[in-house]
Chains A and B, each alone.
Chain A
Amino acid sequence: MSDLSLLFATDPLELTTEQLDQIITEMRAARTRFNLGASVAAKPPRKPSTLKPDLSLSLKLDF
């Protein structure tokens, strides 16, 4: 059982201030992870660099 699951399984009236803060901190961390994931997913894909002509390759092909 994870720390968070243990906290949710504890009688809420017995939770200390530190334990309540731990729950809130865990929830905020989950939000940060979610927002980070969402912003990465929203970024446009990088342009493929292979569109640039490769001079060295064409020189090689000339031979």
Chain B
Amino acid sequence: MAAPSPFDSAGLQFAWDSTSIKLAQACLRKYQYVMLEGWRSRTESDHLTFGAAYATALEHFYKSAENLGPDEALREVVREALTSTWGWQSLHNTKNRETLIRSIVWYLDEFRDDPLPILRLADGRPALEHTFLLPVDDNLVFTGHIDRLVEYSGGPYVMDQKTTASTVTPYWFEQFSMDTQMSMYTFAGRAVYGTPVKGVIIDAAQIAVGFTRFTRGFTFRTDGHLDEWYGDTLYHISLARRATAEQYFPTNPSSCNLYGGCAFRKVCSRSPEHRLPFLKGDFIQAPEHERWNPLRTR
């Protein structure tokens, strides 16, 4: 079944997940290209395929292991990951089907003896796989997906996985101290589960040609952090909605060179009348039902 549209009858986005919020915060032109027009780069597609299959496998493992035990659950998620990526021809230098399966098996072996207990809800169910739709101010909805809520040192945390080609250092984890996705997880975790979530535990996987290396890190949020994040986020959303209503999407040149350079930098640097051929050359315009949609459930 097709997911409902995250846009209202006036074409303004009302359902917001962390991905679309980050696009609007980074650059309204980028928001236009990705969210409104559905452009995506070819290698980004490999990154998304890998990340989605990896996260799904780990999430499903913990759910299946409750009933099937770890060995059968592992077989099940390996088959599922191979099936969901069947026919995928990756152009990425390290992210492909073999490194995907390697990373799943290595992750589950790495943390086999170091499980973080999954929090139990009041009705006894484990806090796993929760897609949230959280009504907030201005008739907006925050959406997202929490894989696991775990307990660490007496406090509840959202558990998340990240994959990267970089070496993971304490400095690498600092990028999450102001990260919208982590703030959203903490904000929603508190609202959805009614428990004082302290932050997010991030299991980072460095994916290299010959190995996958794991490092665990933390990012914390106080009430003050979340109040400020909430106000700032509603402000950024209002700017994106106004830009959509006015059909004016200014670039944010300060974002062009972040994280190795925005994928659209080559396009935006062309004179406006020459941009479309460059977009069509380096990017794929996904059909509407395949575009990023915060209301699409996993």
Contact = CB atoms under 8 A, between A and B. Distances in A.
Nearest to B102: A27
Given A11-B86, A27-B101, A27-B102, A34 B78 contact: no
Contact of B210 (A8, A15, A21, A34): A34
A35 B83 CA distance: 29
Contacts of A42: none
A17 to B, nearest CB: 7
B106 interface: yes
A49 B75 CA distance: 51
A8 B105 contact: no
B53 to A, nearest CB: 12
B150 interface: no
Give chain A's interface secondary structure class.
helix
A34 B79 CA distance: 24
A40 interface: no
The size class of the interface chain B forms with chain A is 10 to 19
Contacts of B98: 4, 8
Interface in A17-44: 17, 20-21, 23-24, 27-28, 30-31, 34
B211 A23 contact: no
Contact of A30 (B79, B82, B83, B102): B102
B82 A17 contact: no
A24 B75 contact: yes
A18 B51 CA distance: 27
B211 to A, nearest CB: 5
Nearest to B72: A17
A12 interface: yes
A51 interface: no
B75 A27 contact: no
B105 A12 contact: no
Interface of A: 4, 8, 11-13, 15, 17, 20-21, 23-24, 27-28, 30-31, 34
20 contacts: A4-B98, A8-B82, A8-B97, A8-B101, A11-B86, A12-B79, A12-B82, A12-B86, A13-B79, A20-B75, A20-B78, A21-B75, A23-B101, A24-B105, A27-B101, A27-B102, A27-B106, A28-B105, A31-B109, A34-B211
Interface of B: 74-75, 78-79, 82-83, 86, 97-98, 101-102, 105-106, 109, 210-211
